[in-house]
Amino acid sequence: MNLNIMSRYALNIVLPGIILMCSCQQKQPPANPPVPVNLLTVDSKSVLYYDNYPATTVALSQVDIRPQVQGYITGIFFTEGTHVHKGQKLYEIDERLYKAAYDQAVANVKVAQGNLVQAQQDAKRYQYLDQHNAVAKQTLDHAVIAQQNADNEVKAAEQAQKTAATNLTYSVITAPFDGTIGFSQVKLGNFVSVGATTLNTVSTDNPMAVDFLINEAQLPYYEELQKGKKKTPDSLFTIILPNGKVYPQIGKISVIDRAVDPQTGTIRVRLVFPNPQFDLRAGMSCIVRVHNLESTPQIVVPGKAVVEQMGEYFVFVAKDTVWHSSADSPPGKREENAEIPKLRAFQVKVQLGQTIGANVIIKSGLNDGDKIVVDGVQAIHEGSVINASGKPSGKSDTTTSKK
């Protein structure tokens, strides 16, 4: 009886121990499986792209047309918004008063000329009589003075005639140069005043200027382009129109502004483009494309491979590693410090350059032959085990210009 009690007592002590030992030898959780990613082997190559700048078209010359004589508008001789030629008749101001003033001035000249002839004859007669002591000296002096006054009156009358002729000419307003004319600010019958009324605006349209801003650090480069010190392609400067189409004409640097804006650190550059079809209008918004002249091969990667963290940029580079871990050993062969080859992803800091469509230039941080993670970057972190079982990633297009 005592033996049975002792057996039960031993069983109650040993059984919990066995259960505890079994629970301590539970299977360890499996390691995280490799993350499937797509890899891209980077290599340097020549890159064709454009630096893009917001720009505005500007007329090389623009003038507001104002009357130089006052009166009522009696004629308008153009179609608004069309091309006009230098000297083309645009407006006519009631010329009757100015025509009458001119005719009167012409008559005054004739009267003055007649008085001059009479004064010349009198002076000549008195000079003859004076030679024979047949006239008083005072009379001769008065005749000479009268001749001088008559001569001056003729000159004054002629100047008055010129003024009247100018006013008569100003009653007809013509285009100052070839260009495009805008909406008329006056209609037939409106009264216009000298200098106070703007009739219209005319601006040159061929060629057309395009202004854009560059950073002051780029100034030496553009100065060399302006002076022709750099060998440039024919398509160095082109523009994209508001409808997204590339303008067919090629531009050239015309002017670089005299000073840098101290508030923005930018300076204005002016290009000049031919505009034979008048497709460009003053004030249009467009994009200036500057052909990249960099001949050094550069590394280009898909933009989706770049990760931004706190204002810095990184890519994941795939590297073959040997990882010492018993947990990474194959099942049934777990040993301490087992050496198992693993493909892992490591972050590398990079410096970005120009964006070219969906791709971006890497200025530093990568070398030819590096394998970077293109797809799956959101699912990995520093040291993540990866495999390249994903679909192959397409190569980046390095010949497409930035849009």
pLDDT computed for residue 335 by the predictor: 47
3 state SS of 160: helix
Q: What is the mean pLDDT of residues 261-266?
A: 93
| 198 pLDDT more than 70 | yes
Buried b (16+ CB within 10 A) or exposed e, 341-371: ebbbbbbbebebbbebeebbbbeebbeeebb
Helical segments of 46-198, H only: 96-131, 137-170
pLDDT computed for residue 399 by the predictor: 43
Residue 257, φ and ψ in degrees, nearest 5: -55, 160
Question: Confidence class of residue 98 from pLDDT cuts 50, 70 and 90?
Answer: very high
**Backbone φ/ψ region at 71: left (φ over 0), alpha (ψ -120 to 50), beta:** left
Question: Confidence class of residue 200 from pLDDT cuts 50, 70 and 90?
Answer: very high
What share of the chain has pLDDT > 70, as a percent?
81
pLDDT computed for residue 185 by the predictor: 95
Question: Confidence class of residue 21 from pLDDT cuts 50, 70 and 90?
Answer: low
pLDDT computed for residue 392 by the predictor: 43
| 28 pLDDT more than 60 | no
pTM: 0.63
- DSSP symbols for 180-215: EE---S--TT-EE-TTT---EEEE--SSEEEEEEEE
Return the beta strands (E) in 329-380 as ranges.
339-356, 359-364, 371-375
For strand 35-36 and strand 386-387, is the pairing parallel, antiparallel, or unpaired? Answer: parallel
Question: Confidence class of residue 322 from pLDDT cuts 50, 70 and 90?
Answer: low
Q: What is the mean pLDDT of residues 328-352?
A: 67
Cα(289)–Cα(287) distance, rounded to whole angstroms?
Answer: 6
More confident of the two residues 50 and 252: 252
| 121 pLDDT more than 80 | yes
Residues 109/165, Cβ–Cβ less than 8 Å? no
Q: Cα angle vertex 268, ends 266, 272, to 5°?
A: 155
Cα(167)–Cα(164) distance, rounded to whole angstroms?
Answer: 5
More confident of the two residues 6 and 128: 128
One-letter amino acid at 91 equals Y
| 139-166 tens-digit pLDDT | 888 888 998 999 999 999 999 999 999 9
Q: What is the mean pLDDT of residues 333-362?
A: 75
More confident of the two residues 278 and 389: 278
Q: What is the mean pLDDT of residues 276-294?
A: 88
Task: Take residue 228 and report the two structure tokens written for it.
Answer: 């022709």
Q: How many angstroms from the chain centroid is the CA of residue 309?
A: 31
pLDDT computed for residue 339 by the predictor: 52
Cα(358)–Cα(40) distance, rounded to whole angstroms?
Answer: 15
Three-state DSSP string of 291-327: ECCCCCCEEEEEHHHCEEECCEEEEEEEEEEEEECCC
Residue 204, φ and ψ in degrees, nearest 5: -65, 150
What does pLDDT average to over the chain? 83
3 state SS of 120: helix
Strand partners, 261: 266
Cis peptide leading into 207, omega within 30 of 0? yes
Residue count of the chain? 403
| 91 pLDDT more than 60 | yes
pLDDT computed for residue 400 by the predictor: 43
Q: Which helix (H) or strand (E) element contains residue 241?
A: none
Instruction: Single out the residue of 156, 291, 273 nearest to residue 232, CA to CA.
Output: 291
| 396 pLDDT more than 50 | no
Q: Which of 36-50, 258-272, 300-314, 315-329 has the lowest mean pLDDT?
A: 315-329
Handedness of CA 302, 307, 308, 313 (dihedral sign): negative
3 state SS of 105: helix
pLDDT computed for residue 205 by the predictor: 92
Residue 399, φ and ψ in degrees, nearest 5: -110, 5
Domains of the chain: 35-48+296-387 (2.40.420.20), 51-60+203-291 (2.40.30.170), 95-170 (1.10.287.470)
What share of the chain has pLDDT > 90, as a percent?
49
Residues 69/196, Cβ–Cβ less than 8 Å? no
| 172-194 tens-digit pLDDT | 999 999 999 999 999 999 999 99
Q: Which range has highest mean pLDDT (72-86, 121-135, 321-335, 337-351)?
A: 72-86
| 14 pLDDT more than 90 | no
pLDDT computed for residue 153 by the predictor: 93
Residues 273/249, Cβ–Cβ less than 8 Å? yes
